[in-house]
Structure 1
Amino acid sequence: MSSGTAQLLAALFVAAVMGYPSRRSATDLDATPRTTVTFDELSGVRRFSTRTLNYTTLLLEDERSVLYVGARGAIFALNSSDVADGSHRMIHWEASPEKQLDCLQKGKNNKTECFNHVRFLQRLNSTHLYACGTYAFHPLCTSIDADRFTLPSHFEEGKEKCPYDPSRGYTGLIVDGGLYTATRYEFRSLPDIRRNLHQRPLKTEESPLHWLNDAEFVASVLVRESRDSPVGDDDKIYYFFTERAGEETTSFFDKSQAARVARVARVCKSDLGGKKILQRKWTSFMKARLVCYMPYYEVLRSVCSLDGGGWPSTVFYAAFTLSAQWRTMEASAVCRYSISEVQRAFEGPYMEYQDSARKWSRYDGTVPEPRPGSCITDHSRRKGYNSSQDLPNSVLDFVKLHPLMFEEVKPAGGEPLLVKKNVAYSRLAVDRVRALDGRSYDVLFMGTGDGWIHKAVVLGSGVHIIEEVQVFRDPQPVETLVISRTQRSLYVGAASGILQVPLATCARYASCYDCVLARDPYCAWDGRACRETASADSTVLVQDMQHGNEGCRNSTARGESAPPWVFPPRKNRMVLRGDDVLLPCDQRSNLARAVWLLNGTEAPGAGQDRLRVGVDGLLVMDTLPEHSGEYRCYGEERGLRTLLAAYNLTVLPELPRASATPPPRPPAASQAAGDMKVVYVSAITILVGLCVVLSAVLLYVSCLQKRKGKYILGEPRPSSVELQTVSANCLRKGRGSKEEEEDDEDEDGLAYPDGCLQIIPGEAPTAAVSPAKEPPAAAPPPPPPLPSELTNGVGALPNMLRKMNGNSYMLLQQQEEPLASPLYSASFTEELSKILEKRKHTQLVEKLDESSV
């Protein structure tokens, strides 16, 4: 058992002990992407990049068809319909040389940190944008006229709105004119949630308790809970972050230090702070723990939300990675949370910090009225509390000392949607699509830390990963994901540039089976091609989201009668008896299983040592006449079989030798030993001769130099023999006379008059003709050449490196060109060739493991 598997099993045991049981195993929670699309296979992708770096802050305004991008030292306005059309506008906003020098003197990196990284970019009002940048560790903010799109001359101090450090976790929103941000602002300040651009600026409390403990912020979401609220509630801003914690259930894996846990916090939009207590501080700040299946999935990476048309249906999707205690493993988890579950935690019991025990535990004392941390509602107003400044001191004192809730926010269904090994998800985006069955499906786009996008659809309590797409050739983290329903595009922000990727590439599915099995809610089969549902007549479309195997024509219960458009051309293969032959079968789906039929009978290789089914095809070893017949390869997925390859294999008997009375052969072992002895003696003789020649040449050159002295008189003469590397220079050199050209043609191009040596790939002649001796007697004429189909497909196979499900391994594909091989050679050569041919394929495993190459 591998160490990673052992750790995963240990974590499952810990999860059960600590109260996070799962009805499904870790294997069931893992999902394999159905198809893999490498960078060279991309289609329909548009790219934008300049000399600027770090295109990580995106603002999409679909109604204006503009994508605003904040980068390092620049702000761009791109055409959202085509980011690569060249119509973009640009604002240069570089840090001044003085600030860069000051940043360098503080010990910061002048190649990464001492620049102006634009971290905030949002719409301020109908005419202006609001932007903030780190400005070489001297943050600045400014308002930008969206129509003129020029940098103004006036700037605002940004130290309370934007972080100093460009790598610091940061999130911000502009809500009804107020700027709500969360980060560690100043150079050595504590993390904080603040409100600016408001008549009542607010921040979190720092004493006697820090409400935030070394927090790294990930995201913030506005939920309009005041709309149609029966209790007259207020809008709320939810913050998602990771921080160090001191609850009694933490530090299970490492008692020496506090573990990092995921949190969700909230504040009320109409909070004005306290009158005497908590002045200019939040009176509505509350936080709760966010759990995802197992305790060690605590590092929160990304959060996105959907409201479904009304705030009561709001759901949050969150991506987690392993905490620092599990450095030997790499895995990600994706969980879904409902707004009702978050509200339940904030309406539950509080926790209190125990000075004697130096930890947080449940508070079971009296809770004052109105409920501490809640927003002002109609019930509060009827009691005379019209704003937070009217709250009694007992409520404000309680809020000050009890910011943490006891109840945890658990995922929907009590378990994650996905647990993916060997993948680190860095960013999430979600879209809701109405399929042909009338149901709405959530489609997740998950960016990885090495430049891939996983597209998945949520089906019940699980996830089906439709495809994995390599969007960057050079591995780099996906920093930002934004979805445009209008343009039907996904915008990807990263260090090297901006990508515009289609939400769906339905044309990639070539058959009805492939289209339906993909279970892509954007795509459906119209009878001739796989098309987007938004651009076709839904009455003729075929789609099956729930089962993924129904709707295609001419399909039987087992799917063996494939429609005519999926029939591949039949290929002929001929091979000599006793040889090995490989019949390739490329599976387009990573979820499909290869099924081979011989003359209509399934599983011809069951119980036979001479037939091996591998990931690249079927290998028939040491062929016999009964192996001849029709071979068909199907890809079986969800009960359907799609024909992928068809072969007619013919096994020929051994061909007769050309000579009627061959000379008697010595035993193979003695003949080989004799031949090897001759080779060794010849090699030693040649080496001794070369040493003698070289010694004589060196002695002659030494004497010549002593005689001539330091200088050489006369014109330099070319040496009679010129040693050169074989290159294109030899091919470009001019020919000699016409007679030389004829001589060259007689020698089949093996020699050139200019002394160049040409190496021609191919088979070596069986016997060399010495120019100093008479040629031997003519050999008997060779037999007729073999038919072009006589090839076993084993030798000279090209390799294609393919990444699938986080692993890398080799797939073999057969060349269609026939491979020539000599039929006659010396007896020893013939025997040796047969031995080597026998040993070419000794084993073909049915399934490669993770360590295979």
Structure 2
Amino acid sequence: MELPFGAERKMWGRLWSLLFSFLTATAVPGPSLRRPSRELDATPRMTISYEELSGTRHFKGQAQNYSTLLLEEASARLLVGARGALFSLSARDIGDGAHKEIYWEASPEMQSKCHQKGKNNQTECFNHVRFLQRLNATHLYACGTHAFQPLCAAIDAETFTLPSSFEEGKEKCPYDPARGFTGLIIDGGLYTATRYEFRSIPDIRRSHHPHSLRTEEAPMHWLNDAEFVFSVLVRESKASAVGDDDKIYYFFMEREEGSSSFTQSRSNHRVARVARVCKGDLGGKKILQKKWTSFLKARLICHIPQYETLRGVCSLDADTSARTHFYAAFTLTTQWKTLEASAICRYDLAEVQAVFAGPYMEYQDGARRWGRYEGGVPEPRPGSCITDSLRSRGYNSSQDLPSLVLDFVKLHPLMARPVVPTRGRPLLLKRNVRYTHLTGTQVTTPAGPTYDLLFLGTADGWIHKAIVLGSGMHIIEETQVFRKPQPVENLVISLMQHSLYVGGSSEVIQLPLSSCSRYRSCYDCILARDPYCSWDPSTHACVAGTTIANRTALIQDIERGNRGCDSSRNTGPPPPLKTRSVLRGDDVLLPCDQPSNLARALWLLNGSKGLTDGQDGYRVGVDGLLVTDTQPKHSGNYGCYAEENGLRTLLASYHLMVRPATPAPAPQAPATHGAQLAPDMRLLYVLAIAALGGLCLILALSLLYVACLQGGSRGRQRKYSLGRAGRAGGSAVQLQTVSGQCPGEDDDGDDGEGTGGLEGSCLQIIPGEGTPAPPPPPPPPPPAELTNGLVALPSRLRRMNGNSYVLLRQSNNGVPAGPCSFAEELSRILEKRKHTQLVEQLDESSV
């Protein structure tokens, strides 16, 4: 397909390719990329606009910023924390109207104090609910910023009401609603990570626990201006052969202090980190009292370390440590912010554990930089959790560890080796997209294999549904979930409700995890490669595999996406045959919409001849096939096919007839004979005209006489009145002479007395009691199909060259107004042929 590209697009495309080619060589240590970056830039197969959504439900209360979501599958409730409010929604249907709500606003006095501190009273001086977790069997625990004076509350889950008293939240919740924050309640203990106070340093803390702990601040900060993104509990003690402890992993960004000559020139250079602590940590006895003794952190890199910003993390299989892995979303931005992209990387827990078991880094005061520690490491190994082996040696808790070990932990929190992605490369690189949040689940297909399915939220309100296939990702579809662009702030999956919940600044959206009925044929069903969808030969429909008892009969091909439909007789209803007729020498457009962004349009004439763009008057584009200067050889049957992944699907078929041009009929001269009038009829017409002229003369003399009479009594004022001017409230039409005065001008002190109160001498129409004129009829609706086969195409997002998109818009006259393949060219052609003679009796789309 030939698509228009400007010089600027080509220039930035070359710059992007050169940048990635240059940086890929030194991006990630380990195995080199075996595929170029452009192959990692997956294109979403389907584009679903907001108007095309189906099966969605919405919730919008009297609040904003629905950013905190907590799903409780057992009670089928979705709990939502917003700005100044909390909501308890039905997980089955969040828009059923039977929700419960709590309004938890900051008082006007608190808002005033917040504003006096220099904070924004339009965004910051409110109570933003940042933390919402299950506390115990009967209560929930919530914390809010409360106009920069954080508060926490234990909420009765059954009645969903606030308590009479609140807890101080300074040690549990951030002041700033925009500050990065993550928190968990584990076995009654509250594990949070953020910058708590206004001018404090970031911290990882444990409260509501007999042994409250926090990170160390001296002689060096363990955390350097950190922004936390995600935290998760991994049950590493479950079925552990060495009696290991459960661990909490934290993912964050922080400012790096001179680790290389490159970063020394950039004092604000920030890097991604992963840190861990042991759940059974009790702190030290004399050293590191009330501080973590198991805190370790390591560098987390994905593709281009110097330009990466961690945006979101999700974990899968956290209950089974042997299979636990993480997915992280990064944005890649150059120093000049001229190019932006997103990357998705996978990290296996075993690789993270290996890094924490490796060598340490040491901060060298003289060089003011971190360097690899080459000295001896004391025993037990610093930063490790208590295991059966340590218990057998008398170390039953962290308080039994030697001072030498604790001193080492205090000065060596950073590991030497970075955590690199699985197989040393990202799974996905997406240009011109900024991912803000992600979540995932594992789906077992009817054939048996299990796949990771991810949902990626963007900064402009779209959801990318993607499946992980080997060393890459296939984006099944992209969906616009918000009418107005806004960042996706949270994502939660409910397997029991088969729903995805999306939190945004304006509302909460509930989407089905799959919409298999969207695929109408077997080919379309398997090409989607959606692990939830399979083709059922018995019903000739694409169905969700979980709803079918005999799952072995279903057709699905996730790995290749093109096998299994050969034996299926019914691959979907064929498209109807449409007839088009056109005069010889004119142009016609045969529309064909490609629903898949990965498909290539193929046009066949009479089932065999392939049509090439630019030859024999054919132009192939995203809108369809344009035939210019039609000739008899262009008549025949046209089929529009979609070629994708080795499969060919018929989308539209036309029968085109080219008719010979009909010459215009010659104009006929007016008849000159047989039109003579009889002499007596001529005399009658003359007499009638003379009578009418006499009547006009008499009327003119009468009017002149009346004017003279009024002129003698009125002086210079010359005004004529016609109709019911004297009737109160009546309608009147008044005629004034041109030489009279307009409103606002006086004539010798005469204000118009005796003329019915009319001022001036301009034409005035005074409304009366008559029935007002009916409003004009509404304009007729635009035709569904215009001349030359042009149809009123809906606005939709279309693909250009596999990676870029162009928005096609339909103007009022039916001609595409936005950038498309034929719009301007077709308009110019039709303008030149405006006076072409058309067939007298046209069919549905003739030209």
TM class, shorter-length:
0.7 to 0.9
The reply to whether residue 711 of structure 1 matches residue 767 of structure 2 is no
Structure 1 residues 170-249: aligned runs within 5 Å: 170-249=181-260
Q: CA deviation at 1:250?
A: 7.3
CA offsets per residue over residues 376-417 of structure 1, 9 Å max, x none? 112212222111111111111111111100111111111111
3-state SS in 2 of match to 1:707: coil
Q: CA–CA distance in 2 between the matches of 1:662 and 1:14?
A: 82
Match of 2:789 among 793, 797, 815: 793
In structure 2, the CA distance between the partners of 1:633 and 1:7, relative to structure 1 (3 Å rule), is closer
Q: CA deviation at 1:5?
A: 3.9
Report what 1:810 is aligned to. Answer: 808
Q: CA–CA distance in 2 between the matches of 1:197 and 1:704?
A: 83
CA offsets per residue over residues 346-400 of structure 1, 9 Å max, x none? 0111011111111111111111111111111122122221111111111111111
The reply to whether residue 614 of structure 1 matches residue 621 of structure 2 is yes
CA offsets per residue over residues 12-54 of structure 1, 9 Å max, x none? 3123135553211111101111111111111111111111111
Match of 1:268 among 265, 268, 278: 278
Q: CA–CA distance in 2 between the matches of 1:344 and 1:564?
A: 50
Q: CA deviation at 1:758?
A: 9.8
Q: CA–CA distance in 2 between the matches of 1:461 and 1:645?
A: 36
Q: CA deviation at 1:719?
A: 8.1
Report what 1:370 is aligned to. Answer: 380
The reply to whether residue 114 of structure 1 matches residue 86 of structure 2 is no
What amino acid is aligned across from residue 350 of structure 1 in structure 2? Y
Report what 1:687 is aligned to. Answer: none
Q: CA–CA distance in 1 between the matches of 2:120 and 2:479?
A: 34
Determine if contact 1:352/1:401 at 8 Å carries over to the other structure. Answer: yes
Q: CA–CA distance in 2 between the matches of 1:449 and 1:589?
A: 24
In structure 2, the CA distance between the partners of 1:80 and 1:284, relative to structure 1 (3 Å rule), is same
CA offsets per residue over residues 426-469 of structure 1, 9 Å max, x none? 11010100012210011100111111111111111111111111
In structure 2, the CA distance between the partners of 1:553 and 1:477, relative to structure 1 (3 Å rule), is same
In structure 2, the CA distance between the partners of 1:197 and 1:789, relative to structure 1 (3 Å rule), is closer
Q: CA–CA distance in 1 between the matches of 2:570 and 2:603?
A: 18
Report what 2:344 is aligned to. Answer: 334
The reply to whether residue 291 of structure 1 matches residue 286 of structure 2 is no
Match of 2:518 among 502, 508, 512: 508
3-state SS in 2 of match to 1:549: coil
The reply to whether residue 9 of structure 1 matches residue 4 of structure 2 is no
What amino acid is aligned across from residue 800 of structure 1 in structure 2? S
Determine if contact 1:573/1:790 at 8 Å carries over to the other structure. Answer: no
Match of 2:606 among 599, 615, 618: 599
Determine if contact 1:260/1:323 at 8 Å carries over to the other structure. Answer: no
3-state SS in 2 of match to 1:163: coil
Q: CA deviation at 1:607?
A: 6.2
What amino acid is aligned across from residue 577 of structure 2 in structure 1? R
Structure 1 residues 99-138: aligned runs within 5 Å: 99-138=110-149
Determine if contact 2:28/2:425 at 8 Å carries over to the other structure. Answer: no
Match of 2:50 among 39, 52, 69: 39
Give the TM-score taking structure 1 as reference length.
0.81
Report what 1:535 is aligned to. Answer: 547
Determine if contact 2:155/2:161 at 8 Å carries over to the other structure. Answer: yes
Determine if contact 1:44/1:501 at 8 Å carries over to the other structure. Answer: yes
| Structure 1 residue runs without a partner (length 5+) | 556-561, 664-695, 725-730, 736-755, 763-787, 818-830, 839-853
Q: CA–CA distance in 2 between the matches of 1:94 and 1:634?
A: 58
Report what 1:681 is aligned to. Answer: none
Q: CA deviation at 1:791?
A: 4.7
The reply to whether residue 646 of structure 1 matches residue 653 of structure 2 is yes
In structure 2, the CA distance between the partners of 1:453 and 1:710, relative to structure 1 (3 Å rule), is farther
In structure 2, the CA distance between the partners of 1:835 and 1:445, relative to structure 1 (3 Å rule), is same
3-state SS in 2 of match to 1:476: coil
Structure 1 residues 342-491: aligned runs within 5 Å: 342-491=352-501
3-state SS in 2 of match to 1:64: coil
Q: CA–CA distance in 2 between the matches of 1:798 and 1:662?
A: 47
What amino acid is aligned across from residue 489 of structure 1 in structure 2? S
Q: CA–CA distance in 1 between the matches of 2:830 and 2:636?
A: 30
Q: CA deviation at 1:68?
A: 1.1
Q: How many residues align?
A: 734
Q: CA deviation at 1:721?
A: 8.9
Report what 2:159 is aligned to. Answer: 148
Report what 1:768 is aligned to. Answer: none
Q: Which moved more, 1:698-707 or 1:424-433?
A: 698-707
3-state SS in 1 of match to 2:572: helix
Q: CA deviation at 1:98?
A: 2.1
| Structure 2 residue runs without a partner (length 5+) | 1-9, 671-735, 816-828, 837-847
Determine if contact 1:180/1:195 at 8 Å carries over to the other structure. Answer: yes
In structure 2, the CA distance between the partners of 1:267 and 1:613, relative to structure 1 (3 Å rule), is same
Q: CA–CA distance in 1 between the matches of 2:444 and 2:742?
A: 90
CA offsets per residue over residues 729-767 of structure 1, 9 Å max, x none? xx99448xxxxxxxxxxxxxxxxxxxx9999999xxxxx
Q: CA–CA distance in 1 between the matches of 2:153 and 2:422?
A: 41
In structure 2, the CA distance between the partners of 1:314 and 1:711, relative to structure 1 (3 Å rule), is farther
Report what 1:749 is aligned to. Answer: none
CA offsets per residue over residues 624-669 of structure 1, 9 Å max, x none? 1111111000011111111111111111111122118999xxxxxx
Q: CA deviation at 1:810?
A: 1.7
3-state SS in 1 of match to 2:275: strand
Report what 2:564 is aligned to. Answer: 551
Q: CA–CA distance in 2 between the matches of 1:448 and 1:832?
A: 41
Q: CA deviation at 1:606?
A: 5.6
Determine if contact 1:554/1:563 at 8 Å carries over to the other structure. Answer: no
In structure 2, the CA distance between the partners of 1:3 and 1:321, relative to structure 1 (3 Å rule), is same
The reply to whether residue 580 of structure 1 matches residue 566 of structure 2 is no
Give the TM-score taking structure 2 as reference length.
0.82
Q: CA–CA distance in 1 between the matches of 2:280 and 2:335?
A: 41
What amino acid is aligned across from residue 413 of structure 1 in structure 2? R
Match of 1:569 among 567, 570, 576: 576
Determine if contact 1:243/1:262 at 8 Å carries over to the other structure. Answer: yes
In structure 2, the CA distance between the partners of 1:722 and 1:461, relative to structure 1 (3 Å rule), is farther
Q: CA–CA distance in 2 between the matches of 1:626 and 1:159?
A: 81
In structure 2, the CA distance between the partners of 1:293 and 1:574, relative to structure 1 (3 Å rule), is same
User: How high is the sequence identity, in percent, across the aligned residues?
Assistant: 59
Q: CA–CA distance in 2 between the matches of 1:490 and 1:594?
A: 33
Q: Over alpha carbons, which structure has the higher Rg?
A: 2
Report what 2:818 is aligned to. Answer: none
Report what 1:525 is aligned to. Answer: 535
3-state SS in 1 of match to 2:642: strand
3-state SS in 2 of match to 1:397: helix
In structure 2, the CA distance between the partners of 1:17 and 1:318, relative to structure 1 (3 Å rule), is closer
CA offsets per residue over residues 277-308 of structure 1, 9 Å max, x none? 11111110000011102224521111100117
In structure 2, the CA distance between the partners of 1:90 and 1:188, relative to structure 1 (3 Å rule), is same
In structure 2, the CA distance between the partners of 1:816 and 1:121, relative to structure 1 (3 Å rule), is closer
In structure 2, the CA distance between the partners of 1:811 and 1:551, relative to structure 1 (3 Å rule), is farther
Q: CA–CA distance in 2 between the matches of 1:789 and 1:155?
A: 65
Q: CA deviation at 1:806?
A: 6.0
Q: CA deviation at 1:565?
A: 3.1
What amino acid is aligned across from residue 747 of structure 2 in structure 1? R
Q: CA deviation at 1:174?
A: 0.7
Determine if contact 1:575/1:791 at 8 Å carries over to the other structure. Answer: no
Query: Cα RMSD between the aligned structures?
Result: 3.1
Match of 2:326 among 308, 316, 320: 316
Determine if contact 1:798/1:813 at 8 Å carries over to the other structure. Answer: no
Q: CA deviation at 1:609?
A: 5.0
